[in-house]
Amino acid sequence: MNVPDDLKYAESHEWIRLDGDTGTVGITDHAQNELTDIVYVDPPKVGDTVTAGQPAAVVESVKAASDIYSPVDGEVIEVNDALSSEPALVNTSPYENGWLYKIRLSNPSQLDALKSPDDYRAQIG
Amino acid sequence: MVTPRRTVLFEQQKALGARCINFGGWEMPVQFTSIIDEHQAVRMACGVFDISHMGEVFVSGPRAFDWLQHMLANDLAKCPVGGGQYSFLLNERGGVIDDLIVYRMAEDNFLLLVNAAKIAEDVAWLQQHATEGVTIDNRSDTMSALAVQGPESARVFREVFQCEMPARNTFIAMEKCRGAVIAAGTGYTGEAGFELFFANTLAGDVWAALLKAGAKPCGLGARDTLRLEMCYPLNGSDLSPDRTPLEAGLGIFVALDKPDFLGRDALIAQKESGLPGRLVALRMTEKSPPPRAHYPVLVDGQAAGETTSGALSPSLGEGIAMAYLPPALAKPGQAVQIDIRGRHFAAVVEKKPFYRPSSGRAA
């Protein structure tokens, strides 16, 4: 499974890519592979406040609806509109075109609690 | 928690990449590659499902026919030797204990194929009502079963068994073909196909032969979307001890003209007083998350029922579901809303089934 070196990871299989005080959030290659056949994405709304460890989005595969947990606190500043017509982008491009939402971090120190790529690799074996 | 049971094919399926879930106390493949791919394989070509978790209960003896006529809702007199028939075990209230297929092996010998989660309950119910001249033999632990479904099933059957696939709702007992195998022209997908019942010791060989002949391994995920497109009920979801087959729209499998069977009085009373609900097919008419079981159904904003099953239909590309609605709201064309995580999405009552297969039968 692909685990890029430039991201931080949550134990619940989300990733975050930092750009100044904002971050882009998605689910990992491992997570999309486990879910398979993603057919619907319910993103948060721009302006929503999301909380670390709390559900921020729902990703639905054919077999189940799965909560996606925000890796850190923040305000949603953008969602990936492309997923409404092409949810399978989460399967085909989990780290690029299949990103879920962008947030302005309100508590950047929470990043320290996230996993490094090596730690996440160890978690998924 | 009770450790889930595994079929004898578990290791072979794991080696093929099966992802497993707990279903009715069994650790079963939910998918191998992708539910959508497996669904399409059955609609377009041929897929094979391990259904060894299901129960095989033999009922035999000089009183077997008369006794089963009393225990089962459908008319067994219409099932000749070599035939199979969909039927129900009902409680005294006419509610569904289990839905099953009964195969008539001989004049006085019957094989009941029952749901995995209900084996113990069904056998206990049968034994509780057993009389002299009837022998109940639960062989679920020593028998395996495979379902092969899809338009290419007849070719796969010929390749594996060197004879013709049994016709719909009939079976053949093959004594010397890869060992003793019962092959029945039944299934749960709407497509042409067959189901095989045999001793556990043959399972590895038969499974491998079917794969070699081109059947694609399929999991319970595709089995669920395939049966839902056909509006075939799943016991425990669409059927329950509190709902009768009449409410489920399955009255054609209930022989109210039989003089006597368990649950008959309640069904006749229900028919006279009016059904409290009807199981309807619902199709989403706007873009929405896939409907799933236990979502509220509303009509004009008022609670009307709850979905019992739901999925994104891989064949139609639309959300489909079933729900019990009051009879006045159960007519095709009725507009409803389905509450998905607090938002209401438009849907409509459809005529069953949602999908008409290219092979097999229409309903």
Nearest partner of B210 among B161, B140, B278, B280, judged by Cα:
B161
Q: Is A58 on the interface with B (CB under 8 A)?
A: yes
Place of tokens 């069977």: B261
Least confident range of B49-53, B175-179, B207-211, B257-261? B175-179
Instruction: Give pTM, 2 decimals.
Output: 0.94
**Contact of B178 with B9, CB cutoff 8 Å:** no
> Which amino acid type is present at position B267?
L
**Contact of B148 with B45, CB cutoff 8 Å:** no
Query: Residue B361's pLDDT is what?
Result: 58
Query: Residue B178's pLDDT is what?
Result: 64
C-beta atoms of A65 and B221 within 8 A: no
DSSP secondary structure string, B264-307?
HHHHHHHHHH--S-EEEEEEE-S--SPP-TT-EEEETTEEEEEE
Query: Residue B328's pLDDT is what?
Result: 97
**Which pair of tokens denotes residue A113?**
């609690």
CA–CA separation, B23 and B20 (whole Å): 9
- Decide: helix, strand or coil at residue A16: strand
**Partners of residue A36 in chain B, C-beta under 8 Å:** 19, 31, 34-35
pLDDT single digits (tens) B162-181? 999 999 999 999 886 666 89
pLDDT single digits (tens) B216-238? 999 999 999 999 999 999 999 99
C-beta atoms of B314 and A60 within 8 A: no
Please name the residue of chain B whose CA is at the shortest distance from the CA of residue A62: B312
Query: Residue B2's pLDDT is what?
Result: 73
Nearest partner of B183 among B158, B200, B204, B219, judged by Cα:
B158
Q: Is A42 on the interface with B (CB under 8 A)?
A: yes
pLDDT band at B363, cuts 50/70/90?
Answer: very low
**Contact of B143 with B198, CB cutoff 8 Å:** yes
C-beta atoms of A63 and B31 within 8 A: yes
Task: Share the mean pLDDT of chain B.
Answer: 96
C-beta atoms of B290 and A37 within 8 A: no
Provide, rounded to the nearest whole percent, the portion of chain B with pLDDT above 70. Answer: 98
* Domain limits, chain B: 10-53+141-229, 56-138, 277-350
**Contact of A14 with A68, CB cutoff 8 Å:** yes
C-beta atoms of A36 and B34 within 8 A: yes
B158-164 mean pLDDT:
94
Query: Residue B3's pLDDT is what?
Result: 86
Choose, out of A33, A37, A85, the residue to mutate when testing the contact with B (most B CBs < 10 Å). A37
Domains of chain A, each with CATH number or no CATH: 8-124 (2.40.50.100)
C-beta atoms of A65 and B30 within 8 A: no
Is pLDDT at B359 greater than 90 in this prediction? no
> Which amino acid type is present at position B108?
D
Nearest partner of B97 among B234, B236, B241, B238, judged by Cα:
B241
CATH number of B56-138: 3.30.70.1400
C-beta atoms of A42 and B312 within 8 A: no
Among A residues 9-38, those touching chain B with beta carbons less than 8 Å apart: 34, 36-37
- Kindly tell me the sign of the dihedral angle through the C-alpha atoms of B303, B308, B311, B314: negative
Across the interface, of A34, A36, A65, the residue whose CB is closest to B289 is: A65
Fold type of domain B10-53+141-229: Gyrase A; domain 2 (3.30.1360)
In chain B, alpha helices (H): 10-15, 35-44, 64-71, 119-129, 153-161, 203-212, 220-229, 264-273
CA–CA separation, A43 and B88 (whole Å): 44
B298-326 mean pLDDT:
97
Residues of chain A whose pLDDT is less than 50? none
CA–CA separation, B200 and B205 (whole Å): 10
Task: Share the mean pLDDT of chain A.
Answer: 96
Q: Is B155 on the interface with A (CB under 8 A)?
A: no
**Partners of residue B284 in chain A, C-beta under 8 Å:** none
pLDDT single digits (tens) B178-194? 668 999 999 999 999 99
Domain B277-350, CATH number (from 2.40.30.110, 2.60.40.10, 3.40.50.170, 3.40.50.300): 2.40.30.110
Nearest partner of A42 among A100, A98, A104, judged by Cα:
A100
**Partners of residue B311 in chain A, C-beta under 8 Å:** 62
Q: What count of residues does chain B have?
A: 363
pLDDT band at B1, cuts 50/70/90?
Answer: low
DSSP state of B131: -
Phi and psi of B206, rounded to 5°?
-65, -45
C-beta contacts of B347-350 below 8 A and 24+ residues apart: B347/B282, B347/B283, B347/B284, B347/B285, B347/B291, B347/B297, B347/B319, B347/B321, B348/B282, B348/B283, B348/B285, B349/B280, B349/B281, B349/B282, B349/B325, B350/B280, B350/B281, B350/B282, B350/B283
- How large is the ipTM? 0.88
C-beta atoms of B221 and A63 within 8 A: yes
Q: Is A82 on the interface with B (CB under 8 A)?
A: no
